């Protein structure tokens, strides 16, 4: 804006000394912000309308935002005001205004061709016809407002330094706030991880508990089935068979030895004949029944001696 109004653009040369007559710093935000709105194409003639649907979403500085900047130039503040007053006098519907320490001017995108050329009185479009449309800004807070009108005000060194301190404090608070939020986020993530691990452990514990409960129920069912099967097996036995099964559960040993011992001790007295018959049968099946001595020493022939013992019990 300053370059155009002061007409200090130099020809294309290697050394742009003239361009160094105006150095503008970055504008630092003191208060305010940005918002999203629309750039609407409107016809300059109120009685006419432009083509519908031609607009775009844009991010713009909010109204009443304040920035600070510094300007290093050979031109004075009065030079700026005079140049811009002359520049805006050639533009239709200009809002230029000035005081001793301020002036209103127009900058930025979507401001229109009238503010992008030296001759603003007769701005033509690509068809060599007068420009018939311009852009207006609309949002939730602003409606049909022209783009780019700003007020530039001259402040003293004390105000400038105070503003810089204010911005530095805002940046510090912002960074502290970011760090605090990062810390909160990290703590939240850690808590989420702990909660996830805890939930996983609880799920695993519940699974193990369910497996144990299932195994316990299965074991109880198998034990019950075993008891039922044993009861059914015992129910199909004779009294002697049940008694033998009882003796075997108390003192496990070969069946022939068990029978002989308990017959001799009168434990099977009520089943003596049946028990002796079973004993002889088993000894024959096991080839333990021996009525003829084959060796020279009868005392060393165990099967022979046991057969004699059983035969005596038959008497």
What is the length of the chain? 315
Q: What are 312's two structure tokens?
A: 């005596």
Measure the CA–CA gap between 68 and 152, rounded to whole angstroms: 9
CA dihedral angle for residue 155, residue 156, residue 160, residue 165, rounded to 10 degrees? -130
How confident is the model at residue 9, as a pLDDT?
65
Measure the CA–CA gap between 258 and 241, rounded to whole angstroms: 12
Instruction: Report phi then psi at 105, rounded to 5.
Output: -145, 180
Neighbouring C-alpha atoms within 13 Å toward the C-beta of 205:
6
What number of other Cβ atoms are within 10 A of residue 147's Cβ? Answer: 19
Tell me the pLDDT of the chain averaged across its residues.
86
Per-residue pLDDT, averaged over 177-205, amounts to 95
H helix intervals, the chain: 2-6, 77-89, 157-235, 239-250, 255-264, 272-285, 302-314
Range with the largest mean pLDDT of 19-33, 111-125, 177-191, 244-258: 177-191
What is the band of 172 on the pLDDT scale with cuts at 50, 70, 90? very high
How confident is the model at residue 121, as a pLDDT?
61
Per-residue pLDDT, averaged over 22-28, amounts to 89
∠ Cα 190 194 198 (to 5°): 170
Measure the CA–CA gap between 40 and 52, rounded to whole angstroms: 9
Measure the CA–CA gap between 118 and 289, rounded to whole angstroms: 137
Q: Give the range among 48-52, 103-107, 225-229, 290-294 with minimum mean pLDDT.
A: 48-52
How confident is the model at residue 7, as a pLDDT?
77
How confident is the model at residue 315, as a pLDDT?
75
306-311, Cβ contacts within 8 angstroms, sequence gap of 24 or more: 306/260, 307/283, 309/260, 309/264, 310/260, 310/276, 310/279, 310/280, 310/283
pLDDT > 60? residue 54: no
What is the band of 135 on the pLDDT scale with cuts at 50, 70, 90? confident
pTM summary value: 0.55
What percent of the chain is predicted at pLDDT more than 70?
91
Residue pointed to by tokens 């402040």: 155
Measure the CA–CA gap between 17 and 297, rounded to whole angstroms: 140
The residue ranges of DSSP E strands in 7-148, in sequence order, are 22-24, 28-31, 34-43, 55-61, 66-68, 71-73, 97-98, 102-106, 133-138, 145-146
Neighbouring C-alpha atoms within 13 Å toward the C-beta of 210:
6
């Amino acid at each position: 804006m300053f370059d155009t109004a002061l007409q200090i653009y130099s020809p294309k040369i290697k050394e742009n000394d003239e361009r160094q007559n105006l150095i503008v710093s970055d504008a630092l935000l003191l208060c305010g912000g940005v918002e999203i709105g629309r750039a609407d194409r409107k016809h300059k003639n109120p009685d006419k309308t432009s083509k519908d649907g031609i607009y775009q979403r844009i991010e713009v500085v909010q109204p009443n935002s304040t920035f600070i900047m510094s300007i290093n130039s050979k031109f004075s503040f009065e030079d700026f005001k005079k140049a811009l007053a002359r520049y805006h006098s050639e533009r239709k519907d200009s809002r230029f205004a000035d005081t001793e320490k301020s002036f209103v001017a127009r900058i930025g995108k979507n401001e229109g061709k009238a503010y992008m050329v030296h001759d603003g009185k007769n701005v033509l479009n690509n068809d060599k016809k007068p420009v018939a449309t311009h852009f207006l800004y609309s949002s939730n807070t602003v409606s049909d407002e022209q783009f780019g009108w700003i007020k530039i005000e001259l402040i003293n060194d004390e105000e400038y330094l105070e503003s810089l301190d204010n911005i530095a404090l805002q940046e510090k608070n912002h960074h502290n706030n970011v760090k605090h939020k990062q810390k909160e986020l990290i703590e939240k993530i850690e808590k989420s991880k702990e909660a996830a691990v805890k939930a996983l452990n609880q799920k695993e514990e519940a699974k193990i508990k369910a497996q144990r409960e299932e195994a316990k129920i299965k074991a109880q069912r198998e034990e019950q089935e075993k008891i039922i099967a044993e009861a059914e097996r015992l129910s199909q036995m004779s009294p002697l068979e049940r008694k033998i099964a009882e003796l075997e559960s108390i003192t496990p040993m070969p069946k022939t030895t068990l029978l002989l011992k308990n017959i001799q001790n009168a434990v099977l007295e009520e089943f003596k004949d049946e028990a002796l018959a079973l004993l002889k049968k088993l000894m024959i099946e096991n080839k333990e029944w021996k009525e003829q001595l084959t060796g020279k020493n009868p005392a060393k022939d165990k099967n022979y001696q046991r057969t004699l013992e059983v035969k005596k019990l038959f008497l």
